[in-house]
Chain A
Amino acid sequence: MLETIRAQITSLTFWKKWAWIIVRFVLIVGLSFVILYPILQKISTSLKAREDIYSPIVVWIPERISFESYKYAVQIMEYWDTLLNTFLLAGMTTVLTAASCALAGYGFARLKFKGSKLLFACVILTILVPPTTILIPMYLNLKDFNLLGLIPLLTGGKSINLLDTYWPFILTSMFAVSYKAGLFIFIYNQFYRGIPKEIEEAAYVDGAGVTKTFLQIMLPNTMPAIITVCLFSFVWQWNDSFYTTIYLTSTKVMSTQLSSLPFNLNKLITGDGGGQSDPFYLDLVQDTGILLAILPLIIGYLFIQRHFVESVERTGIVG
């Protein structure tokens, strides 16, 4: 027994193995710390009472645990309303985007027609062009939306202002051009290319038309891709501040409320007097606000994080 242990300890491979294990452990712990540090810091900050910010002995655990900043944040952001709004918005776009991109993906993958290659190149183009480039025309377009002249016919001579409603999001999702939708179409496309043709041919032999094949055979198999797309789409929409600030100026969604949080808090505390209250305190409440905003995401994430890697692997992007 002792002999084997001695032989092991003096062998080089034993030490090499352990050296690697230690290095790996240090790396993973270190990097995890880097990732978790902001969140932990925010949690600790949000629990601080106002006076604790300046206390030099308070680093992680506050002297007085206070939920005061939570109360402020909830009140100013109108948290529950905002939560509902953001959830609805993200959910709506996710469902519509997942559906329309699935259709387009299947069309490109299995139902080839003349020019489909060119159109697919256009899909890739939509991923590559920065949204900024088409931002201005989109904004102006939506301001006086008239669908190439159709809408004035319907409303009797005036085009409608689509800004500040949910319509821009609904329309873009319905037509598969929402934020990074090109990426989703690409994912679906790769996925469908990975499904053996025999399945479709068997369905054809059994007399199923194209739509029936799609709905009853392909869709159930697409679950991994659908999950992946829904995950990404929901998360990106929830956190999106680019499109929401442009399209929705008065509706309350998380990202807009967060950016205006310090300002509103200031107004609340100084009572519209125009004074400037303590900027550090404003920051503290904003940190709390950020926590509240991402909390639903984190909770959801805890439940489905296992599926992230599995579903990406099974979508076939990686061959």
Chain B
Amino acid sequence: MVTYEQRKARWGFVYVLPWLIGFILFFLIPLVNSLVYSFSKVETNAEGIFVDFIGWENYRTALFVNPNFNRNLVNSIIDMLVNVPLIVIFSLFVAVLLNQNFKGRGLARAIFFLPVILASGVIANLESSSLIEALNTDNAAGRFIAGLRSFELERMMLEAGVNEDFVLYLTGAVDRIYEIVSQSGVQILIFLAGIQTISTHLYEAAKIEGATGYEAFWKITFPMVSPLILVNVVYTVVDSFASNSTVELIRNTGLTNFNFGLSSAMAWIYFLSVAFILAVSSYIISKRVFYHE
């Protein structure tokens, strides 16, 4: 006599089965293989694949011999550490902005979600190498636009005595506004949806008590979306790790130079750095997240 619970449990397994098959076939096995390759010298020829165990050699090559890997890896990590806070803070700000009631809100939202469709893959790569862009900044109006950089602001802040590193960080952020905006589409979406689920009676009560908009943000909005801050940080980290120069390098080593062992070792070092950063940041953030229950 099978109980309802048991029947559901069995069906649960069946429903999950396609994913499980995929997971084992297309994820787990390649993952284990990759680990094996990273410890060996892999050669392919017409007959098949020969795997020759050589221990830590590939790792040693990647870290100490290969001229590009270290530099690329450190660059990518620094890029990520710099960009992620900016992206998350920026998208929170924009989400609050887009949540307010103003004419043309629909249009503004439509424009801000545009990078979600446009910024992925090929287009981002091609964009950065566009010569037309360079040419355009050379002629009249282009120079004007390019000149709208933050020189004056930077000087003002430095003379006012603000810490130099901080100033450089901020102006660097403003200069990279395009990069930041195009990478924050999904995050804005998530934050916006989150803000909209905060019930308005909280804000009403605050207003009656005499809270300003600023206070309302920090005491109501911010705690209520803090779980989403964690989600967005994780997503942004993973996203920025998915496509940058290190990845290119790994791919080229593998497919163009056919050095599969080295490429796998690089990929694993890369993965471990990602995992480490994710673990550390998730831990720090979830300590301070406010959960409903």
Which residues of A line the B interface, CB within 8 A?
21, 24-25, 27-28, 31-32, 34-39, 41, 45, 53, 56-60, 100-101, 103-104, 106-108, 110-114, 116, 119, 122-123, 126-141, 144, 147, 171-172, 174-177, 185, 204, 210-211, 214, 235-236, 239-242, 246, 254-255, 258-259, 279-280, 283-284, 286-287, 290, 293-294, 297-298, 301-302, 305-306, 308-309, 312-313, 317-319
Contacts and interface: CB of A to CB of B under 8 A. Distances in A.
8 contacts: A56-B139, A59-B142, A100-B19, A133-B268, A294-B118, A294-B123, A298-B117, A313-B196
Contacts of A318: 190, 193-194, 197, 228
Contacts of A147: 25
Interface string B92-130: 001001001010001011111111111011110111001
B4 interface: yes
Interface string B5-34: 001111111111011111101110111011
A132 B251 contact: yes
Contacts of B141: 59-60
A136 B254 contact: yes
Interface string B197-223: 100000000000000000000000000
A315 B268 CA distance: 34
Nearest to A258: B122
Given A130-B242, A175-B26, A35 B292 contact: no
Nearest to B103: A25
Given A59-B142, A175-B21, A290-B123, A138 B274 contact: no
A111 B48 CA distance: 43
Task: Give the 9 A-B residue pairs with the shortest CB-CB distance, closest first.
Answer: A175-B22, A111-B12, A107-B15, A137-B33, A137-B30, A177-B22, A104-B19, A313-B193, A134-B30
Given A138-B26, A175-B25, A279 B16 contact: no
A260 to B, nearest CB: 11
| Chain B: interface size category | 35 or more
A85 to B, nearest CB: 15
A287 B127 CA distance: 9
Interface stretch (B61-69, B159-167, B175-183): B175-183
B15 A103 contact: yes
A277 to B, nearest CB: 13
Contacts of A144: 48-49
Given A111-B15, A293-B123, 12 more contacts: A21-B102, A28-B97, A31-B177, A53-B135, A103-B16, A114-B9, A136-B254, A144-B48, A240-B120, A301-B114, A309-B192, A312-B189
B30 A317 contact: no
A319 B197 contact: yes
Interface of B: 4, 7-16, 18-23, 25-27, 29-31, 33-34, 37, 44, 48-49, 94, 97, 100, 102, 106, 108-118, 120-123, 125-127, 130-133, 135-136, 139-142, 177-178, 181-182, 189-190, 192-194, 196-197, 227-228, 231, 234, 238, 241-243, 247, 250-251, 254-255, 260, 263-264, 267-268, 270-271, 274-275, 278, 292
B122 A241 contact: yes
Nearest to B116: A235
A135 B266 CA distance: 12
A57 B11 CA distance: 69
A155 to B, nearest CB: 16
B156 to A, nearest CB: 19
B108 A283 contact: no
A255 B120 CA distance: 11
B41 to A, nearest CB: 13
A104 B271 contact: no
Contact of B274 (A35, A37, A128, A214): A128
Contacts of A240: 120-121
Nearest to B269: A133
B112 A35 contact: yes
Contacts of B48: 144
A280 B13 contact: no
Contacts of A112: 8-9, 12
A95 B51 CA distance: 38
Contacts of A255: 121-122
B260 A177 contact: no
Contacts of A214: 15
Nearest to A313: B193
Nearest to A159: B48
A35 B23 contact: no
A313 B191 CA distance: 10
A296 to B, nearest CB: 10
Contact of B109 (A111, A302, A309): A309
A214 to B, nearest CB: 8
